[in-house]
Chain A
Amino acid sequence: MSRVHIVHNPALSGVAQFTGSFGVSNYRHRIGANIGFDTCSFDIRHEKHVLEDMFYTGLGRRLTRYSRDGNFVVWDGFISEMTLVQPGLSMRISLKEMWNRASVRYTPIDTGTNPPTESAETSTAVVDDTTSQAKYGIKEKYFSPPKIDRMIAGNAAQYATVMLSQYREPKRDEDFASGSNDSKLTVFCEGFMHTLGWRIYNQTAVSGQDYVYVVAGTIITGVGQFIYDTDFDTNTTQIQKYYNRDNTALDILQAAAGIGDNTNRRWLFYMLENRILQYKLASTAVNYIRRVSDRKQEILDTSGRAIPFYEVRPNNWLRNSDVMPHGLTPANMQDDFPSMFVESVQYNEPDTLALAGSLGGIAQVIIARAADQGDRLL
């Protein structure tokens, strides 16, 4: 059984301090090249009151798992959803359908004329629930009414207020199922990179262009509430500064990463340990080596160290060294048949590792450029 450490969210000053270490089962995590620590889930089996207390107070807390020697962060993120299972009962609470800052994007109409006249699309002033924000951080949603988006300003403002009041706290739902006889808390976590998807980034004060990492720095300064620090490498590719389409910071950053650089190389935004947002050139060299005929199915790094499966990370090239062994190694990794770029790592306790591979992104960069939608297009 592995152990995870759960503490209060360090980026929020208004939350109660908490620290706990839990033995967990069914542990699994996913790490993606273009997001870093992505998702993690596990079950806690404990006394009923401990599970209930965690269910009621645990959302948003930080979750970290360390390697066996304690020096390496295996996974780090926050609790985004929990399911409390008791005999006959399943209760779910989630941050995913919660937002505590709302605005409505609509097309104003002037009802003083007949028919009413429309003016340019706009957004209402944001409305905040500061109590929820103090507990979980700011999570915002800009609604665009699905069909009737022509309305008077007062209705739009009221719509925003109503939506806020409905979604300002984490959503709960409950199911009854006779015959079930289990007691556990299933915890779902997301990496802090996901919190950039909580925030809308609009910047209309200045126009022009700047380097991706400079614009990213501005975005993080503005809406990177859970980002402890940044570590950006220099890429002279420039993007626009002006944003006014209610895009999330995550969307903007991933789209910017997808543009790559002027030599068609792939760049990545991602977050791993210490809540540091990184902007780096994607790996271009083999860092992991394995053999399909290895009884131990080990993954070695270039120094020969067997990497425990829970320490394997994406954004590394992996070569299966005994696949087509007589093939001469080409200059480009993309041309090397036994090699794959590790896009994502899925680790399931105790010993299941799934690596999703790709060719490392040249095609991805081209497509991303064409679509301007970032890596998630693929």
Chain B
Amino acid sequence: MARRLLITDGTITVNLLDSATFNIALNGWEPEDPETNDIVRESVHDEGSEIVSSQAKNVIDVIKVKLTGTSHNNIAATLQDLATLKREAKEFQTTDWQKTPVWMEAQTSGETNTRYYLVRKIRFKQGTFPYGLIFENANKSLNNTLTIEREAYARSHAPLSALPTALTTSAAQAPAGQVVATEQFIANHRDTHALTHIYNFDASLSAFSSNLVASTNFDYYVVSGSAPASGDIVYFGSTTGPFRQGVVYISTASSPATSSVAWEIWTGAAWVGGIVKVPVNPIFGAAVGAMPIYIDTPTGWAATTINGVSAYWIRVRLTANPSWSTNPRQGAQVVYNPRENYVSVASTILKGDVEALGLIKYKKYVQVSNDVRWMAIGMKGRGLTNFVSMLNWGGNNPAEWTVATGTDTSTAADIESPSGTRATCTFATNQTLVERIRITNGTAASSADFEGTYHAYLRCKQVTGSAGDVKVRLGVAVTNGIGFSTPTVPLTVVNAGIELVSLGKIKILAPRIILGTESSNGFYFQIDAQAASATPDLYLYDLILIPVDEWGIVPSHAGLSGQQVYDYGAGLQMDNGLLRWGCTQMGPDGASPPEPNRVISKWESRGQLPLFPTDKAFRLYFLLADNATAGTYLAPLHHGGSIKLYAHQRWEFMRGAE
């Protein structure tokens, strides 16, 4: 490997290992680790002190270099390059218009990969008298001191350069052998309603295909080699309950890339359009790649029998002959439906010995009846086996969870609810702040996986009455142990959709109370609610736990008009210095399929910009909401989209071969 030590802006380069210009002196550089900004506390009543916060400062490298040139003018040109980089490094920080960073690249002769450092400041001190013999006659300046102040850790890529390859990730329902494992689809709810059946139906033959749900390769609409024609249908169904999204992967696009189709659900009396939402450009089957399908507020959706199977069905029907020479083909993975709100990164994915700088790229494929104006993201790197972020009050939870209704509360079928069932509190006999519902985890090992700090949100709806008539709070308690409650929070709207209520921060089990081999009793969550009268009803959908103790961020619009992610191919980027810093709303780039590559506006970055842990598996949990009306957050189940993760891996000392 070639030795490497240089400063550059990508165009101008000052090579510090070039005997014709700058050349590092023998033992001229002794790299060191960063000093830290520490907050240290102590008590006169106890021994020692402890660090409660520690953040790395910039590193100041002092490098002894020789400066050589063919002439004084040649040396002047070299110094002018250095001065230009010095100025650019300053202006990159002090102005908004200097967008080119200056960075340092380093690599030893036996080191496989290059390290990159964002440069903050450059200073240079000439060590030789410019009118002395050495400089006059030999065109050399010895004992020069180059001081470079740079970011604390080495990166795997040049700062603010093109994005690296997206990280390989996974998701709960992502199929084995996923064609593109760098993009995962998230749900805005949790349930267990997997797709169980997919049929092609040939109208002319009046025949169905076999169940294709487990098939990794099949042509859409085709039954026994038939040519797709008007009236042919693809059915997607679940016998376990209503589902809210699906993901197909087109491995072979139709040719020509045109067709006329209708997406429909069965409402008990008819097949109805306008509820199933899919991308419009390209249309279904017309381009290679993943394509999500969303069921948007499926009022009246009912099970029906197709090909002898009673299930919740959606279908796509050809409304004209497509005249395809090539049929759209699913492959080489199964069709699936995301049903959880996280993406996972395996422990082997990220190298480096310091947290990686991260970029989270969110893409909203489909325009649904709510936009995304707010998002909460939290990281969890422990207790991943049994932890679930969303617990449904209507059931359909992991087996160790049990729901028990409380005062004036019962469950009822509700197609809008994550499980197809909600809990309803009528306040008929008691309007005071009492327990309305409880969900209990009785398994010691499982409950230990919930140890941590979370921000708790409740999805619910006040029906009838006046806004604010209903107030809720969350109680958390270890079974047969202590309990505590969050403050009460009033709901803000009446019958206006699924409202998201922020209940506050909770801690499940005290920090470090559980050691490696210990377990705890189970624990439970309960919702207490009160109402101004017996008039309003409260619909309870689910409890959402966003982990916040390892890392978290809340990207939010800032209340400006146009600050919503709504379009096909629009998205967000939460970036910690790969391309920029902050949360940025992105618009579709006009390509087919569109990608969220056009900058729209800066969002509020509430919290820390992304930092990904190294050498450990972790998950990012997501919650999406709309905030079209100030103070009111709606979090419907038809929100969703895809997540890609990018990282600049980092090292404290050397990078090596990773």
Seen from chain A, the residues whose Cβ lies within 8 Å of a Cβ on chain B are 3, 5, 7-8, 10, 17, 19, 21, 47, 66-72, 228-231, 274-276, 292-298, 300-306, 311, 322, 350-351
Contact = CB atoms under 8 A, between A and B. Distances in A.
Contacts of B96: 47
Given A17-B561, A231-B488, 20 more contacts: A5-B558, A21-B605, A47-B94, A66-B606, A69-B378, A69-B553, A70-B552, A70-B607, A228-B631, A230-B468, A295-B47, A297-B41, A300-B510, A301-B484, A303-B509, A303-B510, A304-B509, A304-B511, A311-B505, A351-B52
Contacts of B554: 66, 69-71
29 contacts: A5-B606, A7-B604, A10-B559, A17-B560, A17-B561, A19-B559, A68-B552, A69-B549, A69-B552, A70-B552, A71-B376, A71-B502, A71-B552, A71-B606, A72-B505, A228-B630, A229-B490, A231-B488, A276-B490, A292-B43, A295-B41, A301-B484, A302-B482, A303-B509, A305-B505, A305-B510, A306-B511, A351-B39, A351-B52
Interface in B56-78: none
Contact of B607 (A66, A302, A304): A66
B484 A47 contact: no
Interface string B23-47: 0000000000000000101110111
Contacts of B551: 69
Contacts of B502: 71
Contacts of A350: 39, 53
A71 B455 contact: yes
B548 interface: yes
A8 B559 contact: yes
A120 B43 CA distance: 65
Contact of A231 (B47, B490, B513, B608): B490
A194 to B, nearest CB: 20
Nearest to B630: A10
Contacts of B52: 296, 298, 351
B658 interface: no
Interface residues of B, number: 60
Given A229-B468, A294-B46, A305 B507 contact: yes
A255 B559 CA distance: 35
A295 B45 CA distance: 8
B403 interface: no
Given A5-B606, A69-B607, A306-B511, A295 B49 contact: yes
Contact of B41 (A296, A303, A304): A296
Contacts of A322: 45
Contacts of B548: 69, 71
B50 interface: yes
A303 B484 contact: yes
- Secondary structure of the B side of the interface? strand
B506 A5 contact: no
B382 interface: no
B492 interface: yes
B48 interface: yes
A257 B233 CA distance: 67
A196 to B, nearest CB: 18
A21 to B, nearest CB: 6
Interface in B331-379: 376, 378
A230 B471 CA distance: 12
Contacts of B558: 5, 7, 19
Contacts of A303: 476, 482, 484, 506-510
Interface of B: 39, 41-43, 45-50, 52-53, 94-96, 376, 378, 453, 455, 467-468, 471, 476, 482, 484, 488-490, 492, 502, 504-511, 513, 546, 548-549, 551-554, 558-561, 582, 601-602, 604-608, 630-631
B552 A297 contact: no
Nearest to A322: B45
B41 A305 contact: no
A47 B39 CA distance: 29
A8 B560 CA distance: 9
Contacts of B510: 300, 303-305
A236 B153 CA distance: 62
A8 B549 CA distance: 31
Contacts of B630: 10, 228
A123 to B, nearest CB: 34
B507 A295 contact: no
Contacts of A301: 484, 507
Contacts of A7: 558-560, 604
Contacts of B553: 69-70
Considering residues A47, A67, A292, which has the most beta carbons from chain B within 10 angstroms of its beta carbon?
Answer: A67
A295 B490 contact: no
Nearest to B49: A295
A295 B42 contact: yes
A229 B604 contact: no
Contacts of A3: 605
Contacts of A71: 376, 455, 502, 505, 546, 548, 552, 554, 606-607
Nearest to A62: B559
A7 B559 CA distance: 8
Nearest to B476: A303
A242 B606 CA distance: 44
A329 to B, nearest CB: 15
A306 B488 CA distance: 21
Closest 6 CB pairs of A and B: A304-B510, A70-B607, A69-B552, A70-B554, A19-B558, A70-B606
A67 B560 contact: no
Given A19-B560, A72-B505, A229 B492 contact: yes
A275 B471 CA distance: 17
A21 B509 contact: no
A67 B608 CA distance: 9
Contacts of A297: 41-43
Contacts of A230: 468
